[in-house]
Amino acid sequence: MKQLFLFFILLITAHQTHSQENLPTDYLTKEFHKGRRDAFRSLMPANSVAVIFSYPERVFSRDINYNFHQNPDLYYLTGYKEPDAVLLIFKESQGTGESYNEVFFIRERNASKETWTGRRLGVDGTKSKLGIKNVYNGKDFKDFSIDFKKFSKIIYDVIPSDIESNQSGFELSGLIQSFKTKSGINTEDKTSQILYENITNSLREIKTPEEIELMRKSVKLSCIAHNEVMKAVGPDMSENEADGIHAYIHRKYGAEGEGYPPIVGAGANGCILHYGDNNATKIDNQLLLMDVGSEYHGYSADVTRTIPANGKFSEEQKAIYQLVYDAQEEVFKICKEGTSLGDVNAKAKNVLAKGLVKLGIIKDEREVNKYYPHGCSHFLGLDVHDKGNYYNGLKENMIITVEPGIYIPANSNCDKKWWNIGVRIEDDILIKKSSYENLSVDSPRKWEEIEALAKQKSTFNDMKFPKI
């Protein structure tokens, strides 16, 4: 019986090993992640240790979890994509004899569970594939010999408190509890968390060549999706169908999904900044605002286009669209090293305010916030609103969005001909020394170009499905 059980385990393991073939080949390399750990370590103060936990799993419905999304900081530093893990980075080498400067505790392999929920790297896989030398199972953390009290500074992020425990003691909840017990930290002390945030902001705000390459792919395939909807859209299309075209194309090109919940809003829905229902059954002869970006190997695009469902802007729609376009063009002129995000926001707001006065929508430029209630830019990368030092000047190889917009909901204090017009144009910009590169240039922004593309036929127009 024992031999039969062992044969079964070997069979499962062999199947799992075989099933790892045909995976993407353009993930970030283990050398990239090691370089990021070394860079992190170089920013740490003397005699310090950094403790970085994985994100928790979250319940979608009863006994089904959401697809797991790793803590971007842990992914950035290791490439590890599983839950129940903690990474320790030391400023100085530790131990006697064979010294070490980092230790990684991860989820243990379990043949039975892997049959149900998928492959796990395990200790050996993490060592070989991710290039981390000192790797242990999570259950070993509790008894691992480390005196946290000898360090001058323990660096860690905000520790979540709403994590379910399975009472094993070595899932995420157990790892966190072991850390608290070993370190005796006061989680109300914010100084360590501020230091952690400052380090990760400084690292992640500047993109490496490897990251820029992944961002190019993520943004480019997002542009292809936007363009396809421009060709396929019509008054009878639903918001959900337009959303689905984006999702299909993202996955067609190898993206794992979207970097944030897609915003696909027609007419009045386009005036809701973070509209997410995407369930209007017909777009009708309205504008369709689509804020949709893929997530490709962890890196999020963030592209917005606003298009007429019938292929042609009305005069009022065109006037608002042109104003938003003009604001974006003026902002592009100052997108370079040294410009502050405050300057970017001020430039966009100034152009929009003057334009809204000229159109008679507002009487005083100070009223611009009624119809332009958000900022113009944010950092972009592993998070759609990525880490970075928002109060410093822009630097070479940062990636930011430029996204002015105007939103005029019904019953606004202006001529009703403007009501329910919502326009945002958003592009992803790579900052250079004295200029910029628009990574999302492949999707048209001029209203004339959008109308021209709308005349082309999409492959989605010929798709026929049974009625239900």
3-state DSSP of 165-199: CCCCCCCHHHHHHHHHHHHCCCCCCCHHHHHHHHH
Q: How far is CA 196 from CA 56, 199, 400, in A?
A: 19, 5, 22
Q: What is the pTM (predicted TM-score) of this model?
A: 0.94
* 5-9, 292-296, 342-346, range with the lowest pLDDT: 5-9
Site of tokens 């945002």: 424
Q: What's the chain's average pLDDT?
A: 94
Catalytic, 426? Answer yes
Residue 427 pLDDT exceeds 70:
yes
Choosing from 18, 21, 62, 63, which is the catalytic residue? 63
| pLDDT tens digit sequence for 116-159 | 999 999 999 999 999 999 999 999 999 999 999 999 999 999 98
Residue 152 exposed, middle or buried by CB count within 10 Å (0-12, 13-18, 19+): exposed
Q: Which residue among 204, 219, 249 closes a domain? A: 204
Q: Is residue 16 part of a domain?
A: no
Choosing from 66, 274, 448, 449, which is the catalytic residue? 274
CATH number of the domain bearing residue 293 = 3.90.230.10
Q: What percent of the chain has pLDDT over 70?
A: 96
Residue 166 pLDDT exceeds 90:
no
Choosing from 246, 297, 305, 378, which is the catalytic residue? 378
Q: Is residue 9 part of a domain?
A: no
Residue 307 pLDDT exceeds 70:
yes
In a shared domain, residues 295 and 365: yes
The whole-number pLDDT of residue 161 equals 79
Look up residue 385 and give its two tokens. Answer: 């609103």
In a shared domain, residues 221 and 345: yes
Catalytic, 374? Answer yes
Q: Which residue among 204, 235, 267 closes a domain? A: 204
Q: Is residue 321 part of a domain?
A: yes
Choosing from 407, 427, 436, 445, which is the catalytic residue? 407
Catalytic, 385? Answer yes
Tell which residue, 142, 82, 113, 96, has the closest CA to residue 16. 113
Tell which residue, 447, 218, 212, has the closest CA to residue 328. 447
Choosing from 211, 426, 427, 428, which is the catalytic residue? 426
Q: How far is CA 394 from CA 302, 375, 388, 391, in A?
A: 19, 16, 10, 9
How many other CB atoms sit within 10 Å of the CB of residue 241? 18
Span between the terminal Cα atoms of the chain, in Å: 52
Binning pLDDT at 50, 70 and 90, where does residue 18 land? very low
Q: Which residue among 204, 222, 244 closes a domain? A: 204
Residue 454 pLDDT exceeds 70:
yes
Q: Is residue 6 part of a domain?
A: no
d(C-alpha 96, C-alpha 351), whole Å:
64
In a shared domain, residues 160 and 256: no
Q: Is residue 289 part of a domain?
A: yes
In a shared domain, residues 81 and 125: yes
| pLDDT tens digit sequence for 370-389 | 999 999 999 999 999 999 99
d(C-alpha 181, C-alpha 30), whole Å:
32
d(C-alpha 131, C-alpha 133), whole Å:
6
Three-class SS state of 104: strand
Domain count, the chain: 2
In a shared domain, residues 57 and 82: yes
The mean pLDDT of 246-257, rounded to a whole number, is 98
Catalytic, 378? Answer yes
The mean pLDDT of 27-49, rounded to a whole number, is 98
Domain that holds residue 188: 26-204
CATH number of the domain bearing residue 75 = 3.40.350.10
The whole-number pLDDT of residue 20 equals 64
Residue 49 pLDDT exceeds 80:
yes
The mean pLDDT of 270-277, rounded to a whole number, is 97
Q: Is residue 248 part of a domain?
A: yes
The mean pLDDT of 55-60, rounded to a whole number, is 92
In a shared domain, residues 156 and 219: no
How many other CB atoms sit within 10 Å of the CB of residue 468? 3
In a shared domain, residues 403 and 424: yes
The mean pLDDT of 36-41, rounded to a whole number, is 98
Catalytic, 119? Answer no
Choosing from 385, 390, 396, 437, which is the catalytic residue? 385
Catalytic, 302? Answer yes
The whole-number pLDDT of residue 10 equals 43
The mean pLDDT of 18-44, rounded to a whole number, is 91
d(C-alpha 131, C-alpha 35), whole Å:
11
In a shared domain, residues 188 and 236: no
In a shared domain, residues 250 and 395: yes
